[in-house]
Amino acid sequence: MTSTPPQIALAPGPRSVQDARRWVVGRCRDLGRPELAECAEVGVSELVSNALLHGSAPIQVGVAGTAAHPRVEVRDASTDAPRIGSGTEATLLGDHLDDDALLTFGRGLGIVARVSRAWGADIDDDGKVVWFEPAEDVEDVATEGVVTGLTGQAARRRALDRAGVRTFVLPGVPLRLHVAFVRHYRELRREVRLLALAHATTYPLARDLSELFTALDAPAYDGLLLAVADIADAADAAVHDHAEGHTAVDLRVDLTREGAAELGRLAELLEAADVFCREERLLALARDHEQRRFQRWFLEELEAQGAGAAPRRWDEEPGDGAPGDGAPGDGDGDDERPRTTVR
């Protein structure tokens, strides 16, 4: 089980556009939404073409949202917002392209606005996702796109350089679980933000969760997720290298004391989001048991250190002051700081 929606990676070249079209049509059928396949096929062709011409590798195509409101997404590593054009792609590729080639390569993001009920781009420090909800038929009026998300890692890092910020140390953090945490947090935050944007009435809890994520971003997100930027290369290498799959590091996170105190709320938010994911049957999955245990330990460890406690390792065994192997927050033992034990 993963915390990300089903997706495929694309290689450079026109064949990737064809692969994406076939895959998206298959996903629409798998979801019982064949009536969306034609518009989904046209839209994903445009977005993949745009990513190949203007974006940065790696490029991935996925489907998120719900079966009732599926959302096609194209992810690339560029943080530049997409530009709506009119035949721009064809011009860049050459005037010699015939109609079949234009269908393969795309004819501008304006097409996406005609085959979707809603569309836009969500930008983060590690790239962007351009998305659309396919319509059943081509719309007479183009749908206006919207840009959401966060950019400016360097600026946010500078903002942390202020009075009251201290460095918290988490010893022995497994890179595999930490990177999964960062990815899950970003995907979940984006998922509820986009659902709230397009379907606030249908999914009122998505709106509430999105507001909570926004409220917690300032004190918690900056230090918590920027910490991974300092070890991103090593983390990716460890995750993809089977021999180093259990690499652990002593992770340093810059937070204010107030930010650390807010992390208990973040843990509660993630639990509420799991319930939402299951009940609304999102195509992006809820956390599995291991992810829940690790993330709860991670947040509670930072919160405890903010209150003056000494650091403890994720893999600290009973007998060293850690409780038994119940999930964090179960209330086992007399320790004021519930811990997760991994055997």
Q: What is the pLDDT of residues 212-240, one digit of tens each?
A: 777 666 544 455 554 444 444 444 444 44
- What's phi and psi for 19, nearest 5 deg? -60, -45
Using DSSP's 3-state secondary structure scheme, residue 52 falls into: helix
Using DSSP's 3-state secondary structure scheme, residue 44 falls into: helix
Where residue 33 sits, what CATH number does that domain have?
A: 3.30.565.10
* Number of structural domains the chain divides into: 2
Q: pLDDT tens across 143-190, in order?
A: 888 888 765 555 555 555 555 677 788 888 888 888 888 788 888 888
Residue 44 lies in a domain: yes
Q: Which one, of 238, 253, 236, 239, lies nearest residue 298 by Cα?
A: 253
Which range of residues forms the domain containing residue 144? 7-151
Do 226 and 168 belong together in one domain?
yes
Q: State the CB neighbour count (10 A cutoff) for residue 79.
A: 18
- pLDDT-derived band at 340, boundaries 50, 70, 90: very low
Q: pLDDT tens across 75-125, in order?
A: 999 988 886 544 333 333 333 334 443 343 445 688 899 999 999 999 887
Q: State the CB neighbour count (10 A cutoff) for residue 269.
A: 22
Q: pLDDT tens across 8-31, in order?
A: 999 888 789 999 999 999 999 999
Residue 328 lies in a domain: no
The stretch 257-268 carries a mean pLDDT of 76
The stretch 193-221 carries a mean pLDDT of 79
Q: What was the pLDDT predicted at 32?
A: 94
Which of 65-69, 74-78, 315-319 bottoms out in mean pLDDT, i.e. has the lowest? Answer: 315-319
Do 54 and 183 belong together in one domain?
no
Calculate the CA 296 to chain-centre distance. 18
Q: What was the pLDDT predicted at 243?
A: 44
- pLDDT higher than 70, residue 327: no
Contact (CB, 8 A) for 61 and 44? yes
- pTM for the full model? 0.73
